[in-house]
Amino acid sequence: MGTITTNDIRNGTKLMLDGEPCTVIDNQFVRPGKGQAFSKTKVLYLLTGRTVEKTFKSGESLETADVMDTDMEYLYTDGEFWYFMDSNTFEQVSADTNAVGDNAKYLIENDKCLITLWNGNPIQVTPPNFVVLEVTDTDPGLKGDTSGGGSKAATMHTGAAVRVPLFVNIGDKLKIDTRTGEYVSRA
């Protein structure tokens, strides 16, 4: 575990705060007209999932988190845990609901995911930026029905609910952005 000054903090930087690993979501350097400069930082605690805004003095030293990001292949879920495998070492790890969170609806078997490990245990699972999902349920799109903004609700085979254009039908394969949960295009 090393140290980093507040001047070197960027979005995505992993820090240890209050004995818990966290990642920087947003960082603003503020230079007031009077007084010392400081950084307003929004951090996400990786174990609990809570988001907190912290203020640090300029030049203050912080401890970096001893976490490791590794690409792993999603294998399967047994309802309680999600299982991932490192393609190089064939080592398998299991992630619980806290680590997977809302990303469970974007996990497809054999897809590569970014797993954040702390002390050898997965604490965060990040699916690929884009996944291809099949529509299992949606209302038929009626021509001229644009009162809803030209989109309708659709349920994907993983359980994800997505707003899609009116021309999408059941059985269509769609490209979905996992960061926003929005429809991108047909696959």
**pLDDT, tens only, 102-157:** 899 999 999 999 999 988 889 889 999 999 999 999 988 766 666 657 788 999 99
Assess whether 137 and 180 both reside in one domain. Answer: yes
Assess whether 11 and 45 both reside in one domain. Answer: yes
Assess whether 50 and 71 both reside in one domain. Answer: no
More confident residue, 71 or 1: 71
Assess whether 115 and 73 both reside in one domain. Answer: yes
- pLDDT, residue 77, reads 92
Q: Do 94 and 103 form a contact (C-beta atoms < 8 A)?
A: no
> Side chain identity at 67, as an amino acid letter?
V
Provide the residue range defining the domain that includes 113.
Answer: 67-126
Given 44, 63, 82, the domain boundary residue is 63
Per-residue model confidence as pLDDT tens digits over 21-59: 998 999 998 888 888 889 899 998 888 888 999 998 888
Average pLDDT, the chain: 89
CATH of the domain at 143: 2.40.50.140
The per-residue DSSP string of 118-174 comes to ETTEEEEEE--SEEEEEEEEEPPPPTT--TTSSEEEEEETTS-EEEEETT--TT-EE
Given 21, 37, 63, the domain boundary residue is 63
Given 126, 145, 162, the domain boundary residue is 126
Q: How many domains does the chain have?
A: 3
- pLDDT, residue 143, reads 67
Phi, psi of 102, rounded to the nearest 5 degrees: -75, -10
Per-residue model confidence as pLDDT tens digits over 74-89: 999 998 999 999 989 9
Assess whether 141 and 157 both reside in one domain. Answer: yes
